[in-house]
Amino acid sequence: MIQAMSAKGLRITEQRRTLARLFADAVGFLNPKDVYLGLALKHPGLSYDTVYRNLRILQEMGILEQFLFEDGVKFRMGCYGSHHHHHHMICLECHTIIPLEFCPMHNLEIPDTFQIVRHSFEVYGYCEKCRKQDLAQVVSA
């Protein structure tokens, strides 16, 4: 993350180093409050605005990916090796992410009168492992 920020011309501050460590150590997703609390431990006086601004910048640069869950927006490191446009299938139980290497938008008929600026497409459900665990729990009950 530090290399990507530097390559994009961002100044590498101690706050951004801590932010990078926070995401590197994270298992799964972080919401903005998690990020704020993690950064505030080392950087007292940090504002929510600073956290949101950095999350937005890193998301716009493709370093972080943003996902909308029922309980709010969450972030994680971007998919490695996928530097092209793609979407995701996300397990609601274990948060496994499976990249979709195609874009469903290509199959839609968009009226010529509408200009698309951006879009997102995420599929939420349960992976095979989590489905098997749930089935095993039902059978054993």
Question: Among the residues of the chain, which ranges form H helices?
Answer: 2-7, 14-25, 32-40, 48-60, 128-140
Interstrand relation of 87-91 and 122-125 (parallel, antiparallel or unpaired):
parallel
Q: Tell me how long the chain is.
A: 141
Say if residue 79 carries a ligand binding annotation.
no
Other beta carbons within 10 angstroms of residue 61's beta carbon come to: 15
Question: Among the residues of 41-126, which ranges form H helices?
Answer: 48-60
Say if residue 127 carries a ligand binding annotation.
yes
Tokens matching residue 117: 């600026």
Say if residue 87 carries a ligand binding annotation.
no
Cβ neighbors of 68 (< 8 A, separation 6 or more) are 120, 122
Say if residue 86 carries a ligand binding annotation.
no
Say if residue 103 carries a ligand binding annotation.
no
Sequence ranges of the binding site for Fe cation: 85, 119
Sequence ranges of the binding site for Zn(2+): 91, 94, 127, 130
Sequence ranges of the binding site: 85, 91, 94, 119, 127, 130
